[in-house]
Amino acid sequence: MNELALHILDIAQNSIRANAGLIEIRIHEKPDDNLLQMEIEDNGKGMSPQQVEQAANPFFTSRTKRKVGLGLPLLKQNAEQTEGSFQLHSEENKGTQLQVNFGFHHIDRPVLGDMAGTLLILAANEKQAEIKYSHETPKGQFEFDTRDIKKELDGIPLSTPEIRKFLNEMIRENLEQIQISE
């Protein structure tokens, strides 16, 4: 996977599967410190210490449909390739926090990609988990919270074509405003 947006789409599904009510996604772009930081935090069912230890092992998964679980290992590999780091903390029945650092100027750093598409797919998840996204760059900050959107929409589904199109443009335009890279 060569886009940060795809990794987020992938990893956040873990939170949805863990019955999280709220998933917070935070991106910090700090080119001066050569750092692109991504944090994902949820209040789902968490993992046992053994599971945390095994999580970055490609041959470990909590699923029964198949025997490999590549989501976290691929992300870890991508981070380490850019001289970054990968930290996973979890507490059972409390939630999970993931912090991944990438070398901002490293040639192998994944680009941001289609974040609007990712957020819209995540926002319409079937378990009604709320998504809070914040993105900070030296040029500014953008926040997107499905709770605010849902309040505004007052019962109209997020998947309505007109609403989807609007939200897509809204996220895209706001991110373009503060974008420095790419």
Partner 1 sequence: MNKIKSLADLKKLKEEVQSKIKLREKGDNPDNLIQIKVSMATCGIASGAKDTMNYFIEELDHQGIDALITQTGCMGFCYAEPTIELTMPGKQPVIYGYVDKAKAQEIIDKHIKLNELVDGIIPVSYKTIDE
* Dihedral of the alpha carbons of 39, 44, 48, 49, in degrees to the nearest 10: 20
Q: How far is the CB of 177 from partner 1 (least distance, A)?
A: 6
Smaller CB separation from partner 1, 43 or 78? 78
Residues 36-95 that bind partner 1 (CB under 8 A): 63, 65-67, 69-71, 74
Cβ atoms of residues 85 and 78 within 8 Å = no
Contacts of 128 (CB under 8 A, 6+ apart): none
Q: Which of 31, 169, 180, 181 binds partner 1 (CB under 8 A)?
A: 169
Q: Are strands 22-30 and 130-137 parallel, antiparallel or unpaired?
A: parallel
Tokens of 62: 């909590």
Q: Does 174 bind partner 1 (CB under 8 A)?
A: yes
Residues that bind partner 1 (CB under 8 A): 1, 6, 9-10, 13, 17, 63, 65-67, 69-71, 74, 114, 117-118, 121, 124-126, 148-149, 152-154, 156, 159-164, 166-167, 169-170, 173-174, 177
